[in-house]
């Protein structure tokens, strides 16, 4: 099957929360040896963008968004074993989570998948995670980078709290942030070490911080 068709099917499957189609298209993408970055960034992720826009315009509602999220998870489940296989030695350890008070985790999951695909060891703490839990996991796993996702303006503040917790404990970790309301300007204001708008950019960002 042509690459363009597979990417279009991946996008459509998320937009129409079609689990059967997403499984078929993901398997087709693997058979055609499409890079995981493209499968997620140019296929599945594009579909999720459309879902976000339609939700913002009130063309669809929470149940449909949940259904699209579950479709995304079904695809990531198929891709996970490939990403776990890695490409040789792990390049470093990143603790990823959605910050305290926030349960949005699709974008964070996409970032985790991309980082694993690029050969980083990713400790995924899930969502609604406190600064202390970030630090404990980083200590335990000898991580270099902490990545915090926030999808609501109300939970952006938890990103600042994480930076402050790292400073207060004089921990050696670099903090990077993302999520729709987050920006480079916000990251500069709170003294973060990095920001990336998309999961594609996160690989380069983490690579630079760990090098
Ligand atoms: C899906 C979704 C949900 C799902 C989440 C399912 C799940 N398992 O994650 C459900 C239905 C559960 C949900 C719930 C709620 N939601 Co909601 N949700 C969305 C929606 C439509 C899409 C978010 C998404 O998944 N986008 C797709 C992913 C791929 O993109 P992304 O998250 O931005 O991630 C990319 C980048 O940002 C970046 N990135 C992300 N994280 C990180 C981290 C790092 C370290 C880096 C470097 C980069 C990075 O890379 C990712 C991939 O490219 C957004 C609308 C929107 N436009 O964002 C609203 C939205 C975020 N939700 C919103 C709200 C209000 C809620 C609720 C409070 C609703 C309610 N009344 O109950 C609850 C939240 C409760 C809580 N305490 O968290 C608001 C937030 C408003 C605000 N500005 O504060 C939004 C903006 C919708 C709106 N316009 O009102 N939601």
Q: Is there an atom of ligand 1 within 6 Å of 65 CB?
A: yes
CA distance 156 to 150: 6
All residues at 6 or more sequence positions from 201 whose CB lies less than 8 Å from its CB, including other chains:
none
**Residue 80: predicted pLDDT:** 80
Tens of pLDDT, residues 65-95: 889 989 998 998 898 887 765 544 568 999 9
Kindly state whether residues 119 and 184 are assigned to the same domain: yes
CB burial of residue 106 (10 Å; 0-12, 13-18, 19+):
buried
Domain co-membership, 58 together with 123 = no
pLDDT for residue 109: 83
Is the minimum distance from the CB of 11 to ligand 1 under 6 angstroms?
no
Q: Identify whether residues 34 and 81 lie together within a single domain.
A: yes
Contact 131/165 with Cβ under 8 angstroms?
yes
Distance CA 55, CA 129 (A): 25
d(CA 83, CA 59): 34
Same domain, 140 and 72: no
* 112 shares a domain with 21: no
Query: Of 118 and 78, which is predicted with more confidence?
Result: 78
- Do residues 22 and 10 make contact, with C-beta atoms less than 8 angstroms apart? yes
What tens digit of pLDDT does each residue of 120-150 get? Answer: 889 999 999 999 999 999 999 999 999 999 9
What digits encode the pLDDT tens for the residues 34-49? 988 889 888 998 998 8
Residue with CA nearest ligand 1 atom 13? 104
Q: Is 85 in the pocket of ligand 1 (CB under 6 A)?
A: no
**Beta carbon of 43 within 6 Å of any ligand 1 atom:** no
- Total-model pTM: 0.86
- Cβ contact 132:165 at 8 Å: yes
Final residue belonging to a domain, choices 85, 120, 142:
85
For 1-39, write each residue's pLDDT tens digit: 789 999 999 999 999 999 999 999 999 999 999 988 889
Task: Answer with the one of 51, 85, 119 that is the final residue of a domain.
Answer: 85
CATH number for the domain including 179?
3.40.50.280
CA distances from 199 to 76, 87, 150, 160, 204 (A): 14, 19, 14, 21, 10
Domain of 11: which CATH number?
Answer: 1.10.1240.10
The atom number, within ligand 1, closest to the CA of 48 reads 27
Short-list 66, 149, 138, 81, CA closest to 113: 81
Range of the domain at 193: 93-210
The closest-lying atom of ligand 1 relative to the alpha carbon of residue 73 is 8
- Quick check: CB of 153 below 6 Å from ligand 1? yes
In the chain, how many domains are there? Answer: 2
Q: Are residues 138 and 77 in the same domain?
A: no
pLDDT tens for residues 156-196? 999 999 999 999 999 999 999 999 999 999 999 999 999 99
User: Do residue 201 and residue 100 come from a single domain?
Assistant: yes
Assess contact for 187 and 143: CB atoms under 8 A: no
Question: What is the rounded distance in angstroms from the CA atom of residue 47 to the CA atom of residue 17?
Answer: 9
Tell me the angle at which helices 3-15 and 19-31 cross, rounded to the nearest 10 degrees: 160
Measure the CA–CA gap between 206 and 172, rounded to whole angstroms.
Answer: 15
Residue 41, ligand 1, Cβ within 6 A: no
């Amino acid at each position: 099957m042509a690459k363009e068709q597979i990417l279009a099917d991946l996008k459509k499957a998320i937009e129409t929360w079609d689990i059967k189609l997403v499984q078929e298209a993901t398997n087709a993408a693997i058979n055609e040896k499409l890079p995981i970055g493209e499968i997620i960034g140019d296929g599945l992720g594009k579909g999720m963008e459309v879902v976000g826009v339609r939700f913002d315009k009130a063309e669809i509602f929470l149940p449909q968004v949940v259904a699209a999220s579950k479709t995304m998870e079904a695809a990531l489940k198929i891709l996970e074993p490939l990403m776990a296989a890695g490409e040789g030695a792990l390049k470093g350890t990143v603790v990823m989570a959605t910050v305290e008070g926030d349960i949005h985790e699709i974008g964070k999951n996409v970032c985790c998948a991309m980082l694993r695909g690029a050969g980083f060891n990713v400790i995924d703490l899930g969502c609604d995670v406190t600064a202390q839990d970030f630090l404990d996991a980083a200590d335990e796993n000898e991580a270099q980078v902490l990545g915090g996702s926030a999808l609501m303006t109300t939970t952006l503040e938890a990103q600042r709290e994480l930076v402050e917790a790292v400073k207060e404990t004089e921990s050696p970790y670099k903090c990077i942030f993302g999520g729709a309301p987050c920006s480079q300007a916000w990251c500069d204001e709170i003294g973060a070490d990095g920001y990336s708008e998309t999961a594609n950019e996160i690989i380069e960002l983490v690579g630079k911080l760990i090098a």
